Amino acid sequence: MKVAINLDKAQVAEMYRQMALIRLFEEQCARQYQQGKIRGFLHLYIGQEAVAVGAMSVTRKDDYVITSYRDHGHAIAKGIHPNAVMAELFGKVTGCSGGKGGSMHLFDIEKRFMGGHAIVAGQMPLACGLGLAIKRKKEDSAVLCFFGDGAVNEGYFHESLNLASLWKLPVIFFLENNMYGMGTLVSRARAAGKDIYLAADAYNIPAAQIDGMDVAAVREATAEALKRVRTGDGPVFIEAMTYRFRGHSMSDASYYRESSEVEREQVRDPIPAFKKLAVTEGLISEKELAQIDKEVEAAVTESIKFANESPNPPMEALFEHIIAS
């Protein structure tokens, strides 16, 4: 965490609000899962909030965001209402995918949130295509493509970096390195070990490694990357070093790491760190923080109520939207 934040009061409040919202939302998701309200696979974003919030804070409405199955944080940060996300997790018709996508497949095309995608690295070629469409239309919007360290050993990763660089596509490849591809430590899965961002050099893509626990650093790096991408100079690669405090999914028994490791990493927790710094710098008061916490709690409670009270999709939905007609 840097010693000073280059943010104004309103920005600090908003970024704190979003991180706190995602954190509480995810904690409540875990509870709803245990109660059987949420089924299937559930991958929580707890610990990584600074990445989605920092990155999204400098994007425009017409920028595309596409990500993996750990997508609740990106969806909320991109502006999808928590009610619509929670309802989707409950499988309800009011969910952002009509109850047919679930946790791993959130969509809101109007907001240019182009999906959570559940095949590891599968969203990377799609990001190239979105970038190609932008380029063909001669627009200056960008694609933010999020993926985890587990994706970097897939063929798609290499194919996509190559194509995006070759064709100078406006894509930010945003690696959230949370150290584990499911339960396998990066160094046990990748011959070149850590510093994955160096791989971008092989494709002639400028790359940086940043502290993914520092929301201000993520914001700055993203703003810098967007500048380049919008000028048509081609993709940028960002590796945000982060950590997930919960398991890979709810069915993860965490055999592969010591609880002491998680405790050690929790010192880097992006939310208390940001809070402390912002208060020290006089950018926000304890009272304001408490007020935001209260609002966030109300929003999450409301989302659960909304999801609970929403109906299931009608039986006709089973056959809807398979093909155009």
Partner 1 sequence: MAEIIMREAIARGLREALDKDERAFIMGEDVGAYQGAYAVTKGFFEKYGPERVRDTPIAEGVMVGAGVGAAMAGQRPIVEIMTINFLLLGIDQVVNHAAKLRYMSNGQLEVPLIIRTVTGGGAQLAATHSQSFEGWFASVPGIKVAIPSDPYDALGLFRSALDERDPVIFAEHALLYGFKGEVPDAPYKVPFGQAAVKREGKDITLVAYGRMVHVAQNAAKLFAEMGKQAEVIDVRTLRPLDLDTIVKSVKKTNRCIVVEEVWETGGFGSWIAQSVQEAAFDDLDGPVGHVGGLDVPAPYNGVLEAAAIPDAKRVLQKAKELFGM
Name the residues that contact partner 1, by CB under 8 A: 64, 97-101, 105, 107-110, 114-115, 117-119, 122, 124-134, 136, 155-156, 159-160, 162-163, 166-167, 317, 320-324
Task: Give the Cα separation of 174 and 145 in Å (integer).
Answer: 6
Q: Measured from the CB atom, is 92 or 219 closer to partner 1?
A: 92
Q: Measured from the CB atom, is 18 or 68 closer to partner 1?
A: 68
The minimum distance between CB 42 and partner 1, in angstroms, equals 17
Q: Measured from the CB atom, is 21 or 118 closer to partner 1?
A: 118
The minimum distance between CB 229 and partner 1, in angstroms, equals 16
Place of tokens 């406006």: 170
Q: Measured from the CB atom, is 287 or 321 closer to partner 1?
A: 321
The minimum distance between CB 130 and partner 1, in angstroms, equals 5
How large is the greatest C-alpha to C-alpha distance in the chain, in angstroms? Answer: 59
The minimum distance between CB 93 and partner 1, in angstroms, equals 9
Q: Measured from the CB atom, is 51 or 127 closer to partner 1?
A: 127
Q: Measured from the CB atom, is 135 or 257 closer to partner 1?
A: 135
Task: Give the Cα separation of 202 and 162 in Å (integer).
Answer: 9
Q: Measured from the CB atom, is 10 or 318 closer to partner 1?
A: 318
The minimum distance between CB 313 and partner 1, in angstroms, equals 8
Q: Measured from the CB atom, is 7 or 114 closer to partner 1?
A: 114
In single-letter form, the type of residue at position 276 comes to: K
Q: Is 294 exposed, middle or buried (0-12, 13-18, 19+ CB in 10 A)?
A: exposed
Q: 212 and 206 in contact (C-beta within 8 Å)? A: no
The minimum distance between CB 197 and partner 1, in angstroms, equals 20
In single-letter form, the type of residue at position 40 comes to: G
- Note the Cα 278 to chain centre separation in Å: 23
The minimum distance between CB 148 and partner 1, in angstroms, equals 17
The minimum distance between CB 267 and partner 1, in angstroms, equals 38
* Sheet of 207-211, strands arranged across: 113-116, 64-67, 143-148, 171-177, 236-241, 207-211
The minimum distance between CB 151 and partner 1, in angstroms, equals 13
220-245: burial string, b at 16+ Cβ within 10 Å, e else: bbbeebbebbbeeebbbbbbbbbbbb
Given CA atoms 158, 161, 164, 169 in this order, what sign does their dihedral have?
positive
CA distances from residue 310 to 35, 66, 84, 88, 266 in whole angstroms, order as listed: 17, 27, 10, 10, 36
Q: Measured from the CB atom, is 84 or 271 closer to partner 1?
A: 84
- Where would I find the H helices in the chain? 9-34, 49-56, 72-77, 82-89, 123-136, 155-166, 186-189, 215-230, 259-265, 270-280, 286-309
Alpha-carbon dihedral 86, 76, 50, 196, rounded to 10 degrees: 90
